[in-house]
Amino acid sequence: MEEQDSPDAEKSIVDENTSMTRTETAVNIENLERRESSENIPTSSEKSDEIVLDSTPESVRRTLFERPIDIDVEEHKPVIIIQEEEKTFLISKKFVIIAVVIASILAAALVILLVLFVSPVLKKDNNDHNIPTIAPVYKIALPKPGPVYNILHTQGTQIVDRRGQPIRLTGCNWYGFETKANIPQGLWQRSYTGVLDQVKSLGFNTIRIAYSNQMLRSDAVTSGIDFVSNPNLKGLTPLQCLDKIIEYCGSINLRVILDRHSSKADNYDNENYWYIPGDAYYTEQRFIDDWVMLAQRYQDSAIVGADLWNDPKGQATTWGSGNVGTDWNLAAERVGNAIQNVNNRWLMIVEGVGNATWWGSNLMGVDTHPIRLQVPNKVVYSVHEYANDTFTQTWFKDPNFPNNLRSVWDKFFGFIIRKNIAPVMIGEFGTTFRYHSSLAWITKWMSYMDGQFTVDGVSDLKSGQYGLSFTSWPLNPYGGIGGILNDDWLSVNTQKMYYLTPSLAPIISNFNNTYLPTKRPTSSPTLKTAIPTPGPTFKFYPFDYFHTFGNQIVDKNNVPARIAGTTWSGFESTSFIPLGLWARSYKTVISQMKQLGFNTIKLPFSNQMLRSGSVVLGPDFTRNNDLVGLSPLQCMDMIVNYCGVVGMRVILTRFSALAGNSGNEMLWYVPKDNYYTHGRFVADWVMLADRYRNTAVIGFDLWNAPKLVTWGSQDPLTDWHMAAEEVGNAILARNSKLLVIVEGTGWGSTLASVASQTVNLLVPNKVVYSLQLYSNDTVPQAAIFSDPTFPDNLPARWDIAFGFIFKKQIAPLYISEFAAALQNPSDTVWIESFTHYLAGYFDGGNVSSLEEGSLGISWTAWPITPYGGIKGILQTDWLSVDSARMSLLNSTFPSPSLISNQTGVAIPEVSTTYDPSTTFYMGSYDDIITQWAYTSDRDIKFQGTVVSGLASAPSWLSYSADFKYVYATLEYANRVQAYEVNPNSGALRLINSVPSMGGSPCFISVDPLNRFLLVANYFSGNMTVLRIDSATGALMPTQQVLSHTPAASSHLHAAVIQNKYATVMDKGLDTISQYLLSDTGIASTDPVNVINAPAGTGSTHIKFHPDGKFAISLNALSVSVTLIPADPDTGLLQPMDATTFAANTYSTLMEAESNVDITSAEVVISPNGNYVYASNRDVSKNPNPSRSSISVFAVTEDPPNSFSLTLVQKVSSLGNYPRYFQLLNGGSDLVLVNQLDNTFVSYEVNPVDGLIDTNSAVISKPKSPALLQPSYTLFQQ
C-alpha cells in the first residue's frame, strides 16, 4: 500500500505546484504574445543563435514553472502584463526582483523535497524502472521565428480551428528520421521538396514524421542524401534538416505531426517503455526534455500536434495501474504538461497500450483514467489498425468477419467517440491487399473512419462534423505493407490511393486553420495518381460510348450495335506483343481484319505486361518502325489508336496475372503473391480505364475464363460475382463510358447463376454477360455430341447456360470466345448451329426470335493467330485466310458490319477522302484556315479551305481533348473562335466567337477534360481562362484574366497545361511561371513556382517529356534550349535561379556559328523521350534560307533521373523561316512548314538514333491556294 501511495503523493506535489503557478499573477499569455508581435521586441533566438538546455533539476524547474518576462527595450525595465478586471498594471522592478527571489527559493526547496522523497520511492517501487534525472548538457540551435500559425483544439469528438469550425487531418507517414540514416528515406534519389509537393498533389493535408531521440543529439549525422537533389541540406545536422522540411511544409500548406518513434535509432521493436530502463541517457527526463526543446523550437510552425510515443507495446506498458514506471497515461500527462508550459498550441496525441490488440491501440483505460492536462481541449487519442495480412488477430478468424469489426473497434477505442469524450485519430493503418479478405477489411475500415460507426451506409456524424483524422502508413515504398509510393519512389500505388482518395479532406490554411476553398472530395472513388507506366505518346482517335438497353448494346441514341470480332492474342504471352509481328506490320493485320468484315478486335493481356520493366520481344521493327523503343503498354496504345483510325473497335480482356500463365491461375488474383493481389487486379483496370478514355476501346472483359470460383457465395476469396461488382464500380468511377463484360464460372462456360444473382453496378446499363464455348474437338463433350437428338439438343442447352439472359431481356450477351477445329463433320454442324443461334434463331429453326430492330448476340471468334490450339483466321504464313472458318462466320456478320464513330449505326466503310489520322489544318497570317492531307509517300496534298474571310490571322489552332472541336486565335482581332469538326469531311462549322481579353492572342491550351482553355495574349502580357460548354463545345464568357507585370514588358507566348499546373512562358520578362489548376481554371493568380531565366533569354515554348521527367524550354532570343527537371506526377518544374538555368541551357547552333539575327521557333520531344528537336530561323531583313535549320539533341540519363543534352545533328529546313514542325507516325516522320517560302518539307527520322535522313526530304509547294504565310499545323497525332 505504501508503494502505491508514493507515486500519487508525487503527482499531488506536482499538481499542487503546477496549479499554483497557473494562478500566480494571472499572466495573460495572449497579451504578452500580441505585445511582443506588435512592438517587434527581440526574442531570445534573435539575441542568441544558440541556447543551452541543462537537464539538471534547476533547469527542469525553470522549464516547467517560470513564465516569460516581457522586456521594455526603451526603459530597460522588466515588466509583467497582468490582467485583472480588464485593467493592466505595471509592477515595478523592485517587486519583480522580490517575487523572483521568493519563487526561486520555493522552487529549490521543492526540488530538494522531490529528490529526497520521491526518488527513493521510485527505486523501491521497481528498480528496473528507475528514471535517471541527470543527463549531459546539450546544445540546440534555434531557428529564427517563421510565419505565425494559429492553433487547433478539440471540441467533443471534433478537432476544430480557433473559430470552432471542424477540420480533419488526413495524411500519410514519412519515416526515416528514426533510422540510423537520421533522414527521411528516399532523399537518395529525390528532393524533399519534390516528395512533399507530391504528397500535397495527391490530396493529403498532413504528414506525420517519425523521429528518434538519438537523432536529436548534437553528434548525430545524416547519411544517404543526394545533395544534387537536396543542395540546401548539405552540411546540416538531422535536426536542421527537420527544420527545412517543416519550413517547406508550411510554405505549401501541409500540416505536420511529430511522432516520437523510439529512443535509439532503429530500435523501435526493442523498446517497451518511453525510456530505456537502466540507460543513463535515454531516461524519462530525456524523453520530456527533448519534447520540450522541440515544442520551443517549433512553436510557430506547420506542426499541429505531438504524437508523444509511437506504439506503446505489449503487457509491459500499463494504463491506470498507478505504477509511474509503467503507466503510460501518467507519463503522457507529465510530458504533455511539460510541453504545454512552453507551447500551448499543439494538440497532444496520446496512443493507447498494446494489450490484446495492435500495439498502441488499446484505449479502454480512457473510460476510467482519461488524460487530463493543464491546458484543456488539447488531447487527441490515437490508435493504429491493420488488416490480417500484417498479423492474424483473433477477430479475423471470427465466422462473422468482417461484420464483427465495428464491435471490435468500439471496444478498444470507438467508445471514446460514442461517449463524446475526445477526438480519435488513426496514426497508422494499412494493408498489402495480399488477401481478398484484406479488401473486406479496408472497405469496412474506410467507411468507419468516415463516420459509419454503427451501420454500413449510415453516417453517425452530425451536420458539419468530420470523420476520424488519419495518417496512412506509409508514404515509403517499404514499411512492411508497401507504401503510397512504389519502389521507384516516384510512381504511385494506385490500389492504396483508390481507397484513400474519397476520404481526403481539403488543405488547411496557414493563417486561420480553416480549409482553403477547394472542392471537397465526394464519396465516389476517384484516383489522383499518375499512371505508373508511361502514358500514350499521342492523342487517341475519338469514339462515342455505348450502354445497354434490355438485351441490346446501343449507342447514346439507343440505336443497336452488334460486336462481331476476333481475338488477337500475344500481349498476354511472355513476348508482351501480339503474335505475328515478326512477319507483318500491325497496321496491315488490323486492316485485313476490317476487310474480312470484323468490326472489333479483342486484345488479351496480362498484368505482368503492364509492369514498367516489361519489354517486347519478337517484332520485326523494319515493318513496325513506330514501335521501336516502346513499352508493351505503349505498343497497345498504337494498336488501339490505329483500330480507331480504320473504324475498328477494341475490347480488352485480362487474360492472366502472370504472362503465359492462364491455365494455372484458378482465381483472379494469385494467392500468397505480394504483387498479383486483388488490389493489383483492381488498380490495373482502373489505370487502363483512365488511359483509354474516349478511344476505340468500348469495353473491358474483366477476367478470361473464370475457373475455380463461386458466384454469390459471399466468400471474398472465391466469389467472382462480388469481385466483378467491385472492379466494375472502380472502372466506371473512372470512366463511365465503358461496357463492363463479366464472364461466367466453370472456365467461363456457364452463366446459369445470373438467374438468381445479377451483377449490379453503381452506373446502370453497363453490364454485358459473357462466356466461352467450343466444339467437341477442342473441349470433349461426349454427353452432348453422342446424344441421338444432336444437333437439335443444342438450343435448349444453350438456353439453360446463357440464352435465358438474352431471352428474358436481363442484359446483352457477348460470346468472348468460340471456335471449332473442324476436324469432324459434327464440329462443322456444331458451329453452324451456334452461329445460327447467335443470329437470333434460338429455337433452331428459320424463324428469328428477335424483335423488330434488334440485333443478335455479340461475339468474337477465337483467334486471329494460326495457333491457339484450333488454328485461326489466318494460316501459318500469317497472310492467307482459312476460308473454311470464314465461310462459317460470314453468316453471322451484321450487315453492314462496321460501327460508326458517331452514332453506333453500322456503316459499310470509313470515308476514304477524309482520314483524321493523316488530315491536318493549317493556320495562317492571312484570313483562312485550310485542310491538308499527309500522304503515305510523305507528300502534302491540299484538301480545301475550311474557313475564309476572317481577315484576322487565325495563327494558332488547338483541338478539344475529344477532337470534336477546334479552337483558333484571331491574332489581329483579339478574339478566340470555336468550331465543330464534321466527322465525315473534316469541315469546320463556326460555333461562336468571344473576346480574348488581351492583345494579340497567340496560343491556346485545352484542358484534357474539355472544361476550359487557356489563351496567352502576347502584347498585353496576360492570360485568359475561357470555360467550355461540354454539350456544345461553345466558349463561355471570360472566367479569369491573369496579368503579368509590368504589362509593357510582358509578352506571354504560351500557356501549357501539364497535370496539375499551367506553365506560362513570358518572353518579355524572361520568366517561366506555374499556376495551380482547379476544376474551373486557375486556382490562384499567385504562381506556385517562378523560374527567372537570364535577361534576354526570351523563352517562348515548353514541351514536357512523355513520362513527365523533365521539360524543354525553347529560348527564342538566346537561340537555345533548357532542360528543366520536373515532377512527373504533378508537372511542377524544379525551381531554378538564373545561374542554374544557364547551366542547364544548350545552344541550338554549332560552336562556330553566329547567332546574330537567328531565333528559335519550335521545340519537339520524340515519342520515346530520347531526342529533342528545335528549329532555327533567320529573322534579318534579308533572310538567308541557309541559316534556317532543325537541330537534333540526344538525351542522356546518367545517373538515373539526371538528364543532359548533346547536340548530335543540324539539318537544313530547305526553305526560309521554319515556323513550325511536328513528328508524325511515332516519330519516324518530321514535317515542317517554311513560312516565307510557303513550302512543306518532310524528312524520315530514324527512331533508334533520332537522326534525320537528309536524303529523304520531300518538298511540297502547292500551287493553289498559296499558303499565305502559314503559321501552325494541327494534326491529331
In this prediction, residue 891 carries a pLDDT of 67
Q: Which amino acid is at 638?
A: M
Instruction: Give the mean pLDDT of 666-675.
Output: 91
> What band does 1271 get if pLDDT is binned at 50, 70 and 90?
low
Which runs of E-coded beta strand occur in 519-580? 546-549, 552-555, 560-561, 564-567
Q: Residues, the chain, total?
A: 1277
CB 539 within 8 A of CB 1277: yes
Given a cut of 70, whether residue 899 has pLDDT beyond it is: no
Q: Among candidates 345, 253, 261, which has minimal Cα distance to 302? A: 253
Strand, helix or coil at 1186?
helix
- Give the C-alpha separation, 1000 to 983, whole Å: 31
Instruction: Give the mean pLDDT of 152-172.
Output: 92
Strand, helix or coil at 887?
helix
> What band does 909 get if pLDDT is binned at 50, 70 and 90?
very low
Given a cut of 70, whether residue 735 has pLDDT beyond it is: yes
Q: Buried b / exposed e across 356-376, counting CB within 10 Å, b at 16+?
A: ebbbbbbbbbbeebbbebbbe
Query: What DSSP letter does each residue of 1150-1174 carry, written as one string?
Result: -TT---TTEEEEEEEE-TTSSEEEE
- Give the C-alpha separation, 135 to 1130, whole Å: 47
- Give the C-alpha separation, 1256 to 1254, whole Å: 6
Residues 909, 914, 917: CA angle, nearest 5 degrees: 100
Given a cut of 70, whether residue 898 has pLDDT beyond it is: no
First-residue to last-residue Cα distance in the chain: 85
More confident residue, 447 or 844: 447
**Which range has the worst mean pLDDT, 107-121, 323-337, 574-588, 611-625?**
107-121
Q: Count the Cβ atoms, other than its own, within 10 Å of residue 782.
A: 8
Instruction: Give the mean pLDDT of 832-841.
Output: 86
Instruction: Give the mean pLDDT of 523-533.
Output: 31
Instruction: Give the mean pLDDT of 77-88.
Output: 33
Cell output for 130: 528507475
Q: Which amino acid is at 136?
A: P
Which is it for strands 1089-1092 and 1071-1076: parallel, antiparallel or unpaired? antiparallel
Interaxial angle between packed helices 238-251 and 192-201, expressed in degrees from 0 to 180 and rounded to the nearest 10: 40
pLDDT digits (tens, 9 = 90+) for 746-770: 888 889 999 999 998 888 889 999 9
Instruction: Give the mean pLDDT of 175-202.
Output: 94
CB 153 within 8 A of CB 187: no
Which is it for strands 954-959 and 965-970: parallel, antiparallel or unpaired? antiparallel
Half-sphere exposure of 867 (CA within 13 A, CB side): 6
Instruction: Give the mean pLDDT of 255-280.
Output: 94
Q: Among candidates 1127, 1264, 1217, which has minimal Cα distance to 196? A: 1127
Q: Among candidates 417, 428, 426, which has minimal Cα distance to 451? A: 417
Q: What are phi and psi of 668, to 5 degrees?
A: -75, -10
Given a cut of 60, whether residue 72 has pLDDT beyond it is: no
- Give the C-alpha separation, 1132 to 1125, whole Å: 9
In this prediction, residue 67 carries a pLDDT of 29
Q: Among candidates 1189, 996, 1144, 1159, which has minimal Cα distance to 1067? A: 1159
Q: Count the Cβ atoms, other than its own, within 10 Å of residue 325.
A: 22
> What band does 777 get if pLDDT is binned at 50, 70 and 90?
low
> What band does 605 get if pLDDT is binned at 50, 70 and 90?
very high
CB 211 within 8 A of CB 260: yes
**Which range has the worst mean pLDDT, 170-174, 690-694, 867-871, 1152-1156?**
867-871
Does 532 sit behind a cis peptide bond, omega within 30 degrees of 0 on the bond before it? no
Half-sphere exposure of 320 (CA within 13 A, CB side): 13
Given a cut of 80, whether residue 2 has pLDDT beyond it is: no
Q: Which residues pair with 1076 in a beta bridge?
A: 1061
Instruction: Compute CA distances 216 → 12, 136, 286, 664, whole Å.
Output: 32, 13, 11, 53
Instruction: Give the mean pLDDT of 1063-1081.
Output: 95
% of the chain at pLDDT higher than 90:
46
- Check residue 1010 and give left, alpha or beta (phi > 0: left; psi -120 to 50: alpha): left
Q: What is the helix (H) or strand (E) element at residue 1256, kind and residue range?
A: strand 1252-1260
Q: What are phi and psi of 440, to 5 degrees?
A: -60, -40
Sign of CA dihedral 382, 386, 392, 394: positive
In this prediction, residue 782 carries a pLDDT of 76
More confident residue, 72 or 263: 263
Given a cut of 50, whether residue 918 has pLDDT beyond it is: yes
Residues 6+ apart with CB under 8 A from 358: 383, 384, 385, 386, 391, 393
- Give the C-alpha separation, 81 to 68, whole Å: 11
Q: What are phi and psi of 475, to 5 degrees?
A: -75, -40
% of the chain at pLDDT higher than 70:
81
Given a cut of 90, whether residue 982 has pLDDT beyond it is: no
Given a cut of 80, whether residue 857 has pLDDT beyond it is: yes
Q: What is the tally of helices (H) and strands (E) in the chain?
A: 24, 58
> What band does 1224 get if pLDDT is binned at 50, 70 and 90?
confident
Given a cut of 50, whether residue 271 has pLDDT beyond it is: yes
- Give the C-alpha separation, 726 to 703, whole Å: 13
In a 10 Å sphere around its CB, with 0-12 CB exposed, 13-18 middle and 19+ buried, how is residue 1268 labelled?
Answer: middle
Interaxial angle between packed helices 436-449 and 678-691, expressed in degrees from 0 to 180 and rounded to the nearest 10: 70
- Give the C-alpha separation, 1055 to 1044, whole Å: 13
Q: What are phi and psi of 692, to 5 degrees?
A: -105, 40
In this prediction, residue 107 carries a pLDDT of 54
Q: Among candidates 170, 193, 494, 258, which has minimal Cα distance to 483? A: 494
Instruction: Compute CA distances 923 → 35, 976, 1184, whole Å.
Output: 64, 13, 24
- Give the C-alpha separation, 579 to 863, whole Å: 11
In this prediction, residue 944 carries a pLDDT of 77
pLDDT digits (tens, 9 = 90+) for 456-489: 778 899 988 999 999 999 999 876 688 999 888 9
> What band does 546 get if pLDDT is binned at 50, 70 and 90?
confident
Mean pLDDT score across all residues of the chain: 81
Please name the residue that has the C-alpha cell 527526463. Answer: 285
Q: Which segment, 113-127, 524-538, 696-710, is predicted with the most confidence on average?
A: 696-710
In this prediction, residue 832 carries a pLDDT of 85
pLDDT digits (tens, 9 = 90+) for 338-394: 999 999 999 999 999 988 899 989 999 999 999 999 999 999 999 999 988 888 888
CB 454 within 8 A of CB 406: yes
In this prediction, residue 748 carries a pLDDT of 83
- Give the C-alpha separation, 383 to 349, whole Å: 10
Please name the residue that has the C-alpha cell 552540411. Answer: 235
Q: Among candidates 1000, 994, 929, 914, which has minimal Cα distance to 959? A: 929
Please name the residue that has the C-alpha cell 486557375. Answer: 1082
Query: What DSSP letter does each residue of 979-1037 carry, written as one string?
Result: EEEPTTT--EEEEEEEE-SSSSEEEEEE-TTSSEEEEEETTTTEEEEEEE-TTT-PEEE
Q: Count the Cβ atoms, other than its own, within 10 Å of residue 16.
A: 11
